[in-house]
Amino acid sequence: MNRDETMIKSPDEKDKWALVPEARKTGEKIYSAHSSYFRDVCQRLFANKVAMVSLAVIVLLFIAAVFGPIISDHEYDAQDLRFVNIPPLMKAHELNGRLFYITTNFTLAEISNNGKLLRSYRIDGEDFSKRLYFYGDPELAVSFAQKTPVLVNSSGTRHVFNRSYRFGTDMMGRDILVRVLYGARISLMVAFIAAIVNFFIGVLYGGISGYLGGNVDNVMMRIVDVIGTIPLTLYVILIMVTLGSTGFLSIVIALGSVYWVGMARIVRAQVLSLREQEFILAARTIGTSPLKILTRHLIPNAMGSIIVTVTMLIPSAIFTESFLSFIGLGVSAPMASWGTLCSDALEGLRISPYQLIFPAAAICLTMFCFNFLGDGMRTALDPKSSKT
């Protein structure tokens, strides 16, 4: 028995002030794991299932946009006029164990049992009974006696998925799937380049304006107001006139020259609220330069709002690029973006609606995912949202 235990067990009054054993000291200790701000942000973000699903979809979209056109059997600009306006789900006519699909321009395509397109037949002639005949096979004839064209002597119909072109083909016989993936490259590239350019311009401009304040702030904000009042379409037209053509560069310059306005306003507001804090006064007292105060203290403390703004800026830029391409001010043929695909699909909307559905669905899905991810990041970066 050691000295400490003997002192505690002693009933004498003088031993009431004896030292507590080490084992009893550690038994009263409360352990808690150290948690940094970054770890708390990650925990709150990972707990948001909608934001994580959105992030997973965005990552998969990036992978598909980068590697999809490379591993595909079709080129985004390759035309096959034999198979024009072939949908992803075909209503095939059976004839003597063979499958045929009648296209919207009344040509005949032969299909294998697993959905592969084998060959097409050109029209050979037409008789007075409203029948079309085709070269290469005298048994093949299409009748127009009913509301929809049918294959004469057909034993029935069944639906077959298009295994050659998963999303179907357009009016030029191009693979819509590859064009949607290639359009994802263009749209996402334009959006991210614009977001990066706007990030640096808007953060520096808004930070300088908010930190200096006074007349400098008034002049800089009036410039922002003037730029923000000019429509983006007018910027694009002026850039097109200056550069002499439409295309990828015009869209990037237009978005990069306008989209930083919103970022500048947000950063300015954050800097105005932070520059009167005690830690900024302490930095000034010890002689820290204004540039270091701005870059090492003010901007890092406003990074939460900046990250959320950049995340929300990307879907807005995607929609703007798609809109400009839709009205003919975007990338030029044969390049494809989601906006140009939607514009091209309008001509055959009633007979081939799938040509509009796929690029429009890609735009909607991407915008929803980025918005959900931005909302999740805003919640995760807010320390008040922690429930632990």
For residue 128, the model assigns a pLDDT of 46
Average pLDDT over residues 211-216: 87
186 pLDDT higher than 90: no
Q: Three-state SS string across the chain, please?
A: CCHHHHHHHCCCHHHHHCCCCHHHHHHCCCCCCCCCHHHHHHHHHHHCHHHHHHHHHHHHHHHHHHHHHHHCCCCCCCCCCCCCCCCCEEEEEEECCEEEEECCCCCEEEECCCCCEEEEECEEEECCCCEEEECCCCCCEEECCCCCCEECCCCEEEEEECCCCCCCECCCCCEHHHHHHHHHHHHHHHHHHHHHHHHHHHHHHHHHHHHHCHHHHHHHHHHHHHHHHCCHHHHHHHHHHHHCCCCHHHHHHHHHHHCHHHHHHHHHHHHHHHCCCHHHHHHHHCCCCHHHHHHHHHHHHCHHHHHHHHHHHHHHHHHHHHHHHHCCCCCCCCCCCHHHHHHHHHHHCCCCCHHHHHHHHHHHHHHHHHHHHHHHHHHHCCHHHCCC
Give the domain ranges of the chain: 89-161, 176-385
CATH no. for 176-385: 1.10.3720.10
Q: pLDDT tens-digit profile of 318-363?
A: 888 888 888 877 777 777 888 888 888 888 888 889 999 999 999 9
Average pLDDT, the chain: 81
Residue 262's pLDDT is what?
A: 84
pLDDT band, very low/low/confident/very high, at 379 (cuts 50, 70, 90): confident
pLDDT in tens, 74-85: 888 888 888 888
